[in-house]
Amino acid sequence: MNAEINTKSLQDKINGLNKQAWVIRVSDSGQAQVISKEAVDLAEDIDYTKGKAEGLRTLGFSYIRLSKYTEALEAKRKLKLYALFSALGGFLILAIILYRNNRNKAKANALLQEQK
């Protein structure tokens, strides 16, 4: 229970950092970079994909504003990888659900055939 509360509070902190960094991304790109980097690091520590993705988005934007193009490309690459893995995870879950449903349908059909 305490771990869930701690994780939730860390997620809230990460979300707050990401929101703060996004708001100041144009007016203070240097500070937005620092804040979003902190959010990304915290999100990595607790494996919080959404927080890491949003942090990388702002971090990449800040790097571009600061003319740090190599770092911006690296942030973009990481963001694409997270999107790809998230999509693959979604497809895997869908495949498992469909497999289970198909197996249950086959069992039900077999029982109906026995009852005839």
Average pLDDT for runs of 10 along the chain of length 116: 76 94 90 93 90 89 82 77 75 86 88 82
Q: Is residue 100 part of a domain?
A: no
Q: Is residue 94 part of a domain?
A: no
Total of domains in the chain: 1
Cβ proximity of 40 and 62 under 8 Å = no
- In the predicted model, what is the mean pLDDT of the chain? 85
Distance CA 72, CA 24 (A): 17
Q: What is the pTM of this model?
A: 0.62
Q: Is residue 101 part of a domain?
A: no
Q: Is residue 107 part of a domain?
A: no
Q: Is residue 97 part of a domain?
A: no
* CATH code for the domain in which residue 21 is found: 1.25.40.10
Range of the domain at 66: 2-86
Burial classification of residue 64, based on how many CB atoms lie within 10 Å of its CB (0-12 exposed, 13-18 middle, 19 or more buried): middle
